[in-house]
């Protein structure tokens, strides 16, 4: 994939694209993967763990908010910033999250205990990059349906665990 100047200057909630845009994209990628794998309807709850810099700065940089909004299907460039705080408060107060709700309308509403399902590891990092996060999805019996690790590598770019070490940026010689 070639990267243009438009990729480098992306729109999203702040204050840091590594801590908000990247995690929102990663959480949305995870929710979309649940749908693609055909397990969205079986998902009863999800868990997110933030490591390294994401876990250490956490609430101050808005990472938990970005993860919740991403799980609900929001994208950094289209999220309704006027509604975002209310959406996060709704999730916290009701203990319910609408997986991909923004995207598919008829959302898969799941249990989400904000204080136990979103963990900030302030002194623990993943091996590839300082901005790491792992997400899990479980069914009603607690059986794991999917787990994925993502890294927010700067500028809102996200690398999943399968792409670690691979050169994904290709020279664009069309100009």
Question: Given this model, what pLDDT does residue 50 score?
Answer: 94
Question: Given this model, what pLDDT does residue 6 score?
Answer: 47
- pLDDT tens digits, one per residue of 116-127: 999 999 889 888
Bridging pattern class, strands 118-120 and 45-51: parallel
What are 74's two structure tokens? Answer: 């929001």
Angle at 62 (CA atoms; ends 91, 46), nearest 5 degrees: 40
Count of C-beta atoms within a 10 Å radius of residue 112: 22
Residues of the chain where predicted confidence (pLDDT) is lower than 70: 1-19, 58-61, 102-106, 163-175
Q: Residue 15 burial (CB < 10 Å; 0-12/13-18/19+)?
A: exposed
* Predicted TM-score of the model (pTM): 0.84
Count of C-beta atoms within a 10 Å radius of residue 169: 11
Residue 25, SS3 per DSSP: helix
* Chain centroid offset of residue 34 CA: 13
- pLDDT tens digits, one per residue of 75-103: 988 889 899 999 999 999 999 999 998 66
> Which domains does the chain show, CATH number per domain?
14-163 (3.30.1330.90)
């Amino acid at each position: 994939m070639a990267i243009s100047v438009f990729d480098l200057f992306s729109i999203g909630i702040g204050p840091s694209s590594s801590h908000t845009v990247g995690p929102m994209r990663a959480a949305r990628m995870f929710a979309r993967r649940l749908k693609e794998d055909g397990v969205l309807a079986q998902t009863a709850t999800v868990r997110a763990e933030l490591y390294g810099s994401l876990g250490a700065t956490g609430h101050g940089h808005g990472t938990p908010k970005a993860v919740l909004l991403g799980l609900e299907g929001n994208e950094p460039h289209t999220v309704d910033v006027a509604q975002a705080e209310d959406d996060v408060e709704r999730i916290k107060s009701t203990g319910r999250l609408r997986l991909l709700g923004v995207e598919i309308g008829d959302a898969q509403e799941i249990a989400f205990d904000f204080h136990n399902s979103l963990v900030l590891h302030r002194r623990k990092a993943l091996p590839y990059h300082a901005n790491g996060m792992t997400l899990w999805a479980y069914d009603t019996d607690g059986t794991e349906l999917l787990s994925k690790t993502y890294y927010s590598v700067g500028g809102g770019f996200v690398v999943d665990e399968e792409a670690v070490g691979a050169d994904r940026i290709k020279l664009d010689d069309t100009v």
